[in-house]
Structure 1
């Protein structure tokens, strides 16, 4: 991954301000459910936060960008071009409330909301093969179920295709005949149903009858719409790909790997097939040419994670994203005949020398019971035996979730300012097999927390780490783990940084929005139902044990957060302040669960480093 470690002699090490790290532009290619190339193949449709908030843009084949939406408050995400003209489909919510609407941007620049209403959540679900119909799911009829509608591309009239009963919508076949549904029974057990959309009021048919715990999900249909490619973990620890023949109902092994196969997709005719694998927290992508029966080789690319592969209509070109630890995702095109690639974007700002950023290494450390815990370790350039640096354990969101290799502005800013970061993938994380994933079921805040506590001993064993200055930082479920560590293991970490973390599980589980549908039931299965498991939820909730917290705490929260309500952070801050402990509380009135606006991300990063400089780096041991 680049040659960070063999530094060029002319690179003078510099410490950069937070603004520069977040001045990076985040790019995303328009959705896989549609057309990312324009009808004449002259440009690509992308989402970009170049202005500080996401909007839709086109990028020409020589890298020229044109803004299509210019919102200053609501992020808009590009979904697809129309297949025969320059109209586009975009999606966006209101201030982080997660109630997305789907809009058409007409060629005159005006926006039309196809899903008006103030309580509904809508989602673009792709185009059919001929480009005359596109699909949108909305929960306007029942907040806990998304129904599927077909929209006419010329007059936007719509027809209800499928009335859903709390299942998750899966894939739609290219010819528009079939829909898959995922019924999540528990976090370990799911089924696939097939619906024939050409039959009026068709009943979903179960195609994965099984006993015991097997998790099924769908990747895609084959381009001829005859087979469904689906994921199953029936035959081992990891998700592998199988095919289901719709006519014969025959199931066959389709693709295997030593890790989870996370995605399979096709070019329009099916000539090219892409397979994505989550290989030890590194995203690996293969592009297979069925005509030559060889993998496509791409030339002159930095080593990194390829994602978001999109093909043009005649399959001469493909576009994709590539990110590394030291650069956010850039958009590239590739000539499929020659393998030659071209970078269209510059995600890093000019003021940052990539050689000053840090490439992470994948490590394993032993937990309290000997279980090996995977982690991603970032060591600052400044660190040495003579100059030991403070360290942070970074805890990802969840339950589930995984820290992966790739660019993080927040992490690189911390590391650049002299903080080592260990992103720990505690038991219960995705990506390491179903046994590891389910080790924390109904035991959240117990053994998974001990994995995080055990990370301290590993960090203390490393040369170049100041053994007296080790803190903990996390967002969402990771924020819960952060405050739980301070409450239940008050002597382990020296400071805590909690970003919109759950601190009162009783309230959070009761207040989960209805639009989570079946996912809410699976979460209750994994975390425990608030109606029957209240005692355990009380026991693991840091809010009710705040009197034990003695170490400085930083808390950041969005006022519009529908998952972790602002009142949670308000109460937690008040309780810890009552102990006479320093607490810094940063509230963003225009954010939800996670911070979307660049100005707020910069403020948050600046305040975190200032807090750590005072209470961790500046800590005296007296």
Structure 2
């Protein structure tokens, strides 16, 4: 497990989606031939982010209304994320919640009526509360105390109750409560005294599965029988050495647990555990990580995902026959967020591509015919002006192969060399993936090549690669990024004298580290809520990270014993070395990377007489949820780079 992962604002989820009366998304049909395509043009961030982002309801919830006529989703059509219901027949959208300065995210319909559950925090503080919207439109906070984090945990088999996890008793531990659907009266189901990660509940309500990370390479699975008078934790992953385990789902009959393990090779495989006999058996394996496994509402279908070279391949199959479901009427792209209707007659899902943000689709499982319900792309944006990336690999300083995603601007050629960016994902242990990113497409559209480097320590490329950076952060992984520049310099369409580094969260740390420890490697840097002082960050992690704090400390180092190393790799303590222009972007409510991290870095670099631009959002956390802020940030990225990369060319002429 990895922890400071950059939010979807940079990964691409928060960049695109819908209007009910808009024309069909342009990317849903083949692009026009070059001879009739509209002349290439650049777009403002406002134009690209006018596309509205769509997010599916919680996987444990009911995405379809009780009568099956509507689908629940989250959209930022209004500028802030709100809950919407989409009519399947007409595509008409009804906005169900109106956030006041915050974002609302859909969890579930009630199974028998029009009420819904959703969650919301305050300005990005990550202290989510569970709310109910009554049928009359009024809303009520179901979370008991103010400084509490809660999450939706699914429904009972008969639909009479739903489950909520909350850390109100102990900020470090999430207890499980059962809420009556009739009056919201609640009872404690399981008191989580060991602060384990509550991972799944069986459909019959009997079994609860937990994960217990020991290190970043070693973890356990435990189960508890909730029908026992005093439920006891049972370890089901006895092993020696370092083996990583995780939980996917219980089977529909509640007889088996499907779990993840890397015990048998480089990749996460799916195995089954028989709760009655203890027998384990292989379930799904591939030459890549199995990302998820789950089941439909009636249990007739299984769906799973494989993380294949930065693209997730989803399979939906009939369990009884083994037949894989083929869907028609879909554009090229990746299928994600599969949700089944209660009778398994329909599925809802998202489809996106590198040049088109996620759209919501519904398909009839009897015919396989799919229908688009949203039209994510701003119709003013021609997808033919955007760029399809390619997966590339380059050799790092020690010969290690670094998988990466490369975007080549349409303006670029050997005769018209363009400036470039090495983009560093969050984590540690994240992954830059193929998919839509309004931020990246905006940069590329304005003539910047982008190399999304998956440095050592990234997920998706086997456990050996994943653990190469353990307790070596800011060392080999930083050199992978520096050698990313060398790779860009080898391309005949890149101006090797004008290369910047951009990243957020852990990637922001890498930006500051590159400027401090390799001051000649890049010509400018953009640090987006990046860690600059590991001594402080590792001592101030949110209390609700307790279940994996031990694993985090194993990977990064315990602040009680490794302060010397943390100081050595923290850019703040070496800011005197920074000589290249720097843009810092931060959310004031960020609970993971505190504002003071950015404040102090900005002050220290300014003291060097180095140009520093600082963009602080008072209403954001670890990632930017408000559309207006994403627009402002993306415009600032281009303005900054135009000044210090393209301006560098002008100054030389």
TM-score by length of 1: 0.99
- Map 1:215-226 to 2 at 5 A: 215-226=244-255
Tell me how far apart the structure 1 counterparts of residues 417 and 105 of structure 2 sit (CA, whole Å).
43
* 2:215 equivalent in structure 1: 186
* 1:79 equivalent in structure 2: 107
- Map 1:438-517 to 2 at 5 A: 438-517=467-546
Q: Residues 282 and 4 (structure 1 numbering): CA distance in 2 closer, same or farther, change over 3 Å?
A: farther
Tell me how far apart the structure 2 counterparts of residues 320 and 251 of structure 1 sit (CA, whole Å).
31
SS in 1 for 2:169: strand
Counterpart contact for 1:4–1:358, Cα < 8 Å: no
Counterpart contact for 1:316–1:335, Cα < 8 Å: yes
* Partner of residue 584 from structure 2, selected from 555, 564, 567: 555
* Partner of residue 147 from structure 1, selected from 153, 156, 175: 175
- Could you report, residue by residue, the CA deviation over 1:308-354 in whole angstroms, capped at 9, with x for unpaired residues? 11111111111100110011110001111111110000111111011
State the Cα distance separating 1:449 from its structure 2 match: 0.3
* 1:23 equivalent in structure 2: 50
State the Cα distance separating 1:3 from its structure 2 match: 5.5
Tell me how far apart the structure 2 counterparts of residues 175 and 417 of structure 1 sit (CA, whole Å).
54
* 1:528 equivalent in structure 2: 557
Tell me how far apart the structure 2 counterparts of residues 558 and 316 of structure 1 sit (CA, whole Å).
43
State the Cα distance separating 1:571 from its structure 2 match: 0.8
Counterpart contact for 1:368–1:450, Cα < 8 Å: yes
State the Cα distance separating 1:10 from its structure 2 match: 2.4
Q: RMSD of aligned C-alpha atoms?
A: 1.2
Tell me how far apart the structure 1 counterparts of residues 82 and 442 of structure 2 sit (CA, whole Å).
25
Counterpart contact for 1:33–1:127, Cα < 8 Å: yes
Q: Residues 4 and 366 (structure 1 numbering): CA distance in 2 closer, same or farther, change over 3 Å?
A: farther
SS in 1 for 2:579: coil
* 2:85 equivalent in structure 1: 58
* Partner of residue 606 from structure 2, selected from 577, 583, 588: 577
Which stretches in structure 1 are left out of the alignment for 5+ residues? Answer: none
SS in 2 for 1:619: helix
Which stretches in structure 2 are left out of the alignment for 5+ residues? Answer: 1-26
State the Cα distance separating 1:292 from its structure 2 match: 3.6
Tell me how far apart the structure 1 counterparts of residues 86 and 310 of structure 2 sit (CA, whole Å).
30
State the Cα distance separating 1:290 from its structure 2 match: 2.4
* 2:66 equivalent in structure 1: 39
State the Cα distance separating 1:152 from its structure 2 match: 0.9
State the Cα distance separating 1:249 from its structure 2 match: 1.1
Please identify, of 216-225 and 516-525, the stretch whose mean Cα deviation from structure 2 is larger. Answer: 516-525
Tell me how far apart the structure 2 counterparts of residues 526 and 136 of structure 1 sit (CA, whole Å).
30
* Partner of residue 126 from structure 1, selected from 154, 168, 176: 154
* 1:594 equivalent in structure 2: 623
Tell me how far apart the structure 2 counterparts of residues 334 and 602 of structure 1 sit (CA, whole Å).
33
* 1:322 equivalent in structure 2: 351
Count how many residue pairs are aligned between Structure 1 and Structure 2: 622
Tell me how far apart the structure 2 counterparts of residues 413 and 8 of structure 1 sit (CA, whole Å).
24
State the Cα distance separating 1:5 from its structure 2 match: 10
- Could you report, residue by residue, the CA deviation over 1:296-318 in whole angstroms, capped at 9, with x for unpaired residues? 11112112111111111111111
4+ residue runs over 2 A deviation: 1-11, 290-293
Tell me how far apart the structure 2 counterparts of residues 329 and 299 of structure 1 sit (CA, whole Å).
17
Counterpart contact for 2:144–2:168, Cα < 8 Å: no
Tell me how far apart the structure 2 counterparts of residues 469 and 224 of structure 1 sit (CA, whole Å).
59
State the Cα distance separating 1:116 from its structure 2 match: 3.1
Counterpart contact for 2:157–2:204, Cα < 8 Å: yes
State the Cα distance separating 1:463 from its structure 2 match: 2.0
Corresponding position: 1:10 with 2:50: no
Corresponding position: 1:102 with 2:130: yes
State the Cα distance separating 1:293 from its structure 2 match: 2.3
- Could you report, residue by residue, the CA deviation over 1:104-157 in whole angstroms, capped at 9, with x for unpaired residues? 110011111111322110011111221111100000111110000111111111
SS in 2 for 1:401: coil
Tell me how far apart the structure 1 counterparts of residues 309 and 122 of structure 2 sit (CA, whole Å).
36
Counterpart contact for 2:202–2:208, Cα < 8 Å: yes
- Could you report, residue by residue, the CA deviation over 1:161-207 in whole angstroms, capped at 9, with x for unpaired residues? 11112100011001111100101111111111011111132111001
Tell me how far apart the structure 2 counterparts of residues 3 and 97 of structure 1 sit (CA, whole Å).
42
Higher relative contact order (CA 8 A, sep 6+): 2
Tell me how far apart the structure 2 counterparts of residues 64 and 275 of structure 1 sit (CA, whole Å).
30
* Partner of residue 400 from structure 2, selected from 371, 374, 380: 371
- Map 1:363-442 to 2 at 5 A: 363-442=392-471
Q: Residues 609 and 106 (structure 1 numbering): CA distance in 2 closer, same or farther, change over 3 Å?
A: same
